[in-house]
Amino acid sequence: MKIEELRIQDISPEVRNGCQELNLSDSVLRQCMEKLRAQIDLGLNPSTREQASVKCYNTYVQDLPTGKEKGQFLALDLGGTNFRVLLITLNGRHFDMQSKIYVVPKEIMLGAGEVLFDHIASCLESFALQHRVAKKNLPLGFTFSFPLNQVGLKSGILTRWTKGFNCANTVGEDVVQMLAKALAKRDSIKIDVVAILNDTTGTLMSCAWKNHNCKVGVILGTGSNACYVEKIKNVIGFDGDTSKPHVIINTEWGAFGDHGELDFIRTPYDKEIDKHSVNPGKQLHEKMISGMYLGELARLLIIKFTKDKVLFGGQINPKLQERWSFLTEYISDIESDPRGVFKQCRNVLGKLNILDPTDQDCSNIRYICESVSRRAAYLASAGVATLINKMDIPSVTVGVDGSLYRFHPHFHNLMHEKIPELCNSSIENLCINLMLSEDGSGRGAALIAASGSENNPE
């Protein structure tokens, strides 16, 4: 207790008070949950979906893995500045995966859509030739981690770009058809795109292959999103197989708040980040909880307290004034130090050319980072609790993937503690398990490709 008291005393009152607006009470979190639930209900109904910030798209994935899937499949995982191509072999519980990571250059991220898909097809061709499967006409599951309105298991319309992408002539287009068109230009390969999915769906499927209790998939990485298993009767106008009771719904919760629902907790720093993003006014929930933005949030707070002469003697280093210079991984590094130890903090500040910070500077920096990451973890927890309350089932495994959750030293524990506190007390024998997805959404894409190739024979 004395150590904790000393730690609090080492934090400047100005920093504690200045970070208060990031400290969200359970009462405030429940207000967020009520607003999120209202948007989910709007999104599940096609007649009100346009009014909803949370679109709740039908994925057409209605069967969770059985563990008996067999065959060889390709998977393509596009969700950021890098993408993966995978060759996956399933044989019951045996799983073999070979993969390669490819880069999407900045000019392609912001160029024409045709150029993006030509680049992807070229990488697929290279991979298939290298692994000697070019002519096997293997089924491919396409993980596409951007807002998508699916109109079938192998058809999806891009609704908007996120995560720094802004390719022309793609919004409103079927991205499966764009990929197929690019592949058709290459005579050396035969690949059949049989399913498109979001990374959340892939995460849920991948975790459900190991744990049949998995009913929620969450991404906490560069971006953020979630999917969950919904009853068909709650999906108005469902046009899939009505003989099956459930379907996975891709919420696209990153856009929660785009209609003003989160204005009551957004800070001036959140607004500054949004103003200088590639998509102002969009993906506001994501900008408060995902790895692409948390470092910048911490940087803005550090700049503010430095200008107030609370940090670094009021001297602002030019490097720190550069936007996005304080990486989100720095938050994880700083919080990985034991209490009262500042080795990682000093390493991080050294990278920013801030030399010889005092212990109090380091204590303040850590408190800023903790405030930023705790708010993100609590908002993510509120989202997960909203989905669990909606499903109203006592035992749920939540599959989670993404670099923020994977590498932050305390994110898991913060969520593990907070989610049960926010779930309905009426749910008896509540048991919630957070499960890290070990292999990203690659296995999930293969599992859905297995289903897609069975249900869509050529």
Q: What pLDDT score does 126 carry?
A: 95
The number of helix segments (H) and strand segments (E) in the chain equals: 16, 13
Q: Which of 84, 299, 346, 375 is catalytic?
A: 84
Looking at 77, 174, 192, 199, which residue is catalytic?
199
Burial of 90 (0-12, 13-18, 19+ CB in 10 A): buried
pLDDT of residue 6: 40
In whole angstroms, give the CA distance from residue 261 to residue 176: 33
- 91-140 residue pLDDT tens: 877 888 999 999 999 999 999 999 999 999 999 999 999 999 998 999 99
pLDDT of residue 7: 53
Known active-site residue 381: no
Q: Can 84 be counted among the known catalytic residues?
A: yes
For residues 210 and 446, what is the distance between their CA atoms, to the nearest angstrom? 14
- Predicted local confidence at residue 457, as pLDDT: 40
pLDDT at 453: 63
The architecture (CATH level 2) of 59-209+440-451 comes to: 2-Layer Sandwich (3.30)
Strand partners, 397: 214, 433
Below-50 pLDDT ranges, the chain: 1-6, 455-458
In the set 12, 145, 363, 437, the catalytic residue is: 145
359 catalytically annotated:
no
